[in-house]
Structure 1
Amino acid sequence: MSDIADAAKRLLLGRPVRSDRLDHTLLRKRIALPVFASDALSSVAYAPDEILLTLALAGLAATVVSPWVGLGVVVVMLTVIASYRQNVHAYPSGGGDYEVATANLGRTAGVSVASALLVDYVLTVAVSVSAGAQYAASAVPALRGHETAFAIGVVALLTLANLRGVRESGAAFALPVYLYMLGVGSVAVVGLVRYLAGDLPQAASAELEIVPQSGLEQGLTGLAGAFLILRAFASGSAALTGVEAISNGVPAFRKPKSRNAATTLALLGLISITFIMSILVLARATGVHYVEDPASQLLRDGVPVGEEYVQHPVIGQLAETVFAGYPVVFVSIAVVTGLILVLAANTAFNGFPVLGSILAKDGYLPRQLHTRGDRLAFSNGIITLALAAIVLIWAFDAQVTRLIQLYIVGVFVSFTLSQLGMVRHWTREMRTVTSPVTRRRMVRSRVINAVGLGMTGVVLVIVLVTKFTHGAWIAILAMGLVFVLMKAIRRHYDLVRAELALGDDPAAARALPSRVHALVLVSRLHKPTMRAIAYARASRPQVLEAVTVGVDPEDVAELRAQWEELDLPVALKVLDSPFREITRPILTYVRSIRRDSPRDLVVVYIPEYVVGHWWEQLLHNQSALRLKGRLLFTPGVVVASVPWQLASTEGQTGLEGTVQGTVPGAF
Structure 2
Amino acid sequence: MGRPLHNERFAETALPKRTALPVFSADSLSSVAYAPDEIVLTLALAGISAVALSPWVGLAVVLVTAVVVAAYRQNLRAYPSGGGDFEIASKNLGRKAGVVVGSALMVDFTLVVAVSMSAAAQYLAAAFTSLIDHRTEVALVGVLLAGLLNLRGQQFMGRAAVVPTYLFVIVMFVLIGVGVVESVTGGLTPAPSSSWDVLPTADQQTAWSTLAMVMLILRAFSSGAVSVTGVESVAGSVQYFKKPKGRNAGTVLTIMGAISCVLLMGTIYLAQRTGAVVVLDPAAQLRIDGRAPTEDFYQNPLLGQLARSVFGLDTPMFYVVILATVLVLVFAASTAFSGFPALGSRLARDSFLPRQLKARGDRFAFTNGIIALLVAAALLVVLFRANVNGLVQLYVVGVFTSFTLTQAGMVRHWRRQRRYVHEPAARRRLIGTTVLAHVAFVLSATVLVIVLVTKFAQGAWITVVAMCLLGGLMLAIRRHYDFVDRDLKLERNSSARALPSRVHAMIIVPSVRKPAMRALAYARASRPSTLEAIVVDVSPAITTRILDEWRRLEIPVPVTVLDAPYRNSVQPVIDHLHRVRRRSPRDLVVVYLPEYVVGTWWERILHNQSTRALAGRLRFEPGVMIASVPWRVDSGDPAQTSSAGSGLQDPSSERTETR
Q: TM-score, normalised by structure 1?
A: 0.93
Structure 1 segment 330-369 matched on structure 2, within 5 A: 330-369=318-357
Supply the distance in 2 between the matched residues of 1:467 and 1:72 (Cα, whole angstroms). 18
Distance 1:566 1:422, change over 3 A: same
Supply the distance in 2 between the matched residues of 1:65 and 1:436 (Cα, whole angstroms). 45
From 451, 471, 479, give the equivalent of 2:459.
471
Query: 1:4 maps to which residue?
Result: none
Q: Secondary structure at the match of 1:640?
A: strand
Query: 1:571 maps to which residue?
Result: 558
Residues 557-592 of structure 1 deviation map (CA, whole Å, 9 limit, x = unaligned): 554554455444433444455665533333233222
Distance 1:404 1:554, change over 3 A: closer
Distance 1:337 1:221, change over 3 A: farther
Q: Secondary structure at the match of 1:635?
A: coil
Counterpart AA for 2:623 = G
Give how far 1:442 is off. Answer: 2.3
Query: 1:453 maps to which residue?
Result: 441
From 595, 600, 604, give the equivalent of 1:608.
595
Give how far 1:522 is off. Answer: 2.1
Structure 1 segment 570-649 matched on structure 2, within 5 A: 570-577=557-564, 581-648=568-635
Give how far 1:436 is off. Answer: 3.4
Q: Secondary structure at the match of 2:421?
A: coil
Supply the distance in 2 between the matched residues of 1:556 and 1:315 (Cα, whole angstroms). 77
Distance 1:203 1:435, change over 3 A: same
Supply the distance in 1 between the matched residues of 2:561 and 2:219 (Cα, whole angstroms). 79
Range with greater deviation from structure 2 (200-209 or 48-57): 200-209
Query: 2:649 maps to which residue?
Result: 660
Structure 1 segment 417-428 matched on structure 2, within 5 A: 417-428=405-416
* Structure 2: gaps spanning 5 or more residues: 654-659
Structure 1 segment 167-566 matched on structure 2, within 5 A: 167-218=155-206, 220-324=208-312, 327-503=315-491, 505-551=492-538, 555-556=542-543, 558-560=545-547, 562-566=549-553
Give how far 1:429 is off. Answer: 1.5
Range with greater deviation from structure 2 (332-341 or 422-431): 332-341
Supply the distance in 2 between the matched residues of 1:525 and 1:211 (Cα, whole angstroms). 84
Give how far 1:410 is off. Answer: 0.8
Counterpart AA for 2:535 = T
Supply the distance in 2 between the matched residues of 1:659 and 1:270 (Cα, whole angstroms). 74
Distance 1:603 1:279, change over 3 A: same
Distance 1:597 1:321, change over 3 A: same
Q: Secondary structure at the match of 1:202?
A: coil
Supply the distance in 1 between the matched residues of 2:504 and 2:405 (Cα, whole angstroms). 59
2:201–2:284 CA contact under 8 A, matched in 1: no
Give how far 1:524 is off. Answer: 2.8
Supply the distance in 1 between the matched residues of 2:513 and 2:20 (Cα, whole angstroms). 62
Q: TM-score, normalised by structure 2?
A: 0.94
Counterpart AA for 2:48 = L
Distance 1:292 1:577, change over 3 A: closer
2:594–2:628 CA contact under 8 A, matched in 1: yes
Structure 1 segment 71-86 matched on structure 2, within 5 A: 71-86=59-74
Residues 446-481 of structure 1 deviation map (CA, whole Å, 9 limit, x = unaligned): 222111111111111111111111111111111111
Give how far 1:650 is off. Answer: 5.5
Supply the distance in 2 between the matched residues of 1:149 and 1:35 (Cα, whole angstroms). 25
Supply the distance in 2 between the matched residues of 1:310 and 1:627 (Cα, whole angstroms). 59
Counterpart AA for 1:34 = P
1:36–1:242 CA contact under 8 A, matched in 2: yes
Supply the distance in 1 between the matched residues of 2:211 and 2:341 (Cα, whole angstroms). 44
Query: 1:8 maps to which residue?
Result: none
2:506–2:590 CA contact under 8 A, matched in 1: yes
Distance 1:662 1:218, change over 3 A: closer
Query: 2:134 maps to which residue?
Result: 146
1:296–1:306 CA contact under 8 A, matched in 2: no
Equivalent pairs, count: 648
Counterpart AA for 1:466 = T
Supply the distance in 2 between the matched residues of 1:587 and 1:308 (Cα, whole angstroms). 66
1:50–1:232 CA contact under 8 A, matched in 2: yes
From 145, 149, 154, give the equivalent of 1:161.
149
Query: 2:92 maps to which residue?
Result: 104
Supply the distance in 1 between the matched residues of 2:303 and 2:259 (Cα, whole angstroms). 16
Query: 2:9 maps to which residue?
Result: 21
Q: Secondary structure at the match of 1:183?
A: helix
Give how far 1:304 is off. Answer: 3.1
Supply the distance in 1 between the matched residues of 2:314 and 2:570 (Cα, whole angstroms). 78
Q: Secondary structure at the match of 1:88?
A: helix
Give how far 1:139 is off. Answer: 0.6
Counterpart AA for 1:74 = V
Supply the distance in 1 between the matched residues of 2:544 and 2:223 (Cα, whole angstroms). 81
Q: Secondary structure at the match of 1:317?
A: helix
Distance 1:314 1:561, change over 3 A: closer
Q: Secondary structure at the match of 1:470?
A: helix
Supply the distance in 2 between the matched residues of 1:273 and 1:396 (Cα, whole angstroms). 29
Supply the distance in 1 between the matched residues of 2:191 and 2:561 (Cα, whole angstroms). 91
Supply the distance in 1 between the matched residues of 2:425 and 2:222 (Cα, whole angstroms). 39
Counterpart AA for 2:597 = V
Supply the distance in 2 between the matched residues of 1:611 and 1:467 (Cα, whole angstroms). 58
Residues 610-650 of structure 1 deviation map (CA, whole Å, 9 limit, x = unaligned): 12222222322122122222222221111111001112265
CA RMSD of aligned residues (A): 2.3
Supply the distance in 1 between the matched residues of 2:451 and 2:568 (Cα, whole angstroms). 64
Query: 1:45 maps to which residue?
Result: 33
Q: Between the two proteins, what is the percent identity of the paired residues?
A: 52
Supply the distance in 1 between the matched residues of 2:549 and 2:380 (Cα, whole angstroms). 63
Supply the distance in 2 between the matched residues of 1:39 and 1:160 (Cα, whole angstroms). 18
Range with greater deviation from structure 2 (318-327 or 398-407): 318-327
Distance 1:494 1:330, change over 3 A: same
Distance 1:445 1:576, change over 3 A: same
Supply the distance in 1 between the matched residues of 2:252 and 2:449 (Cα, whole angstroms). 29
Query: 2:657 maps to which residue?
Result: none
Distance 1:563 1:203, change over 3 A: closer
Give how far 1:229 is off. Answer: 1.1
Counterpart AA for 1:637 = V
Range with greater deviation from structure 2 (408-417 or 53-62): 53-62
Give how far 1:432 is off. Answer: 1.8
Q: Secondary structure at the match of 1:608?
A: strand
Supply the distance in 2 between the matched residues of 1:575 and 1:632 (Cα, whole angstroms). 20
Supply the distance in 2 between the matched residues of 1:306 and 1:429 (Cα, whole angstroms). 64
* Structure 1: gaps spanning 5 or more residues: 1-12
Supply the distance in 2 between the matched residues of 1:354 and 1:374 (Cα, whole angstroms). 16
Range with greater deviation from structure 2 (29-38 or 641-650): 641-650
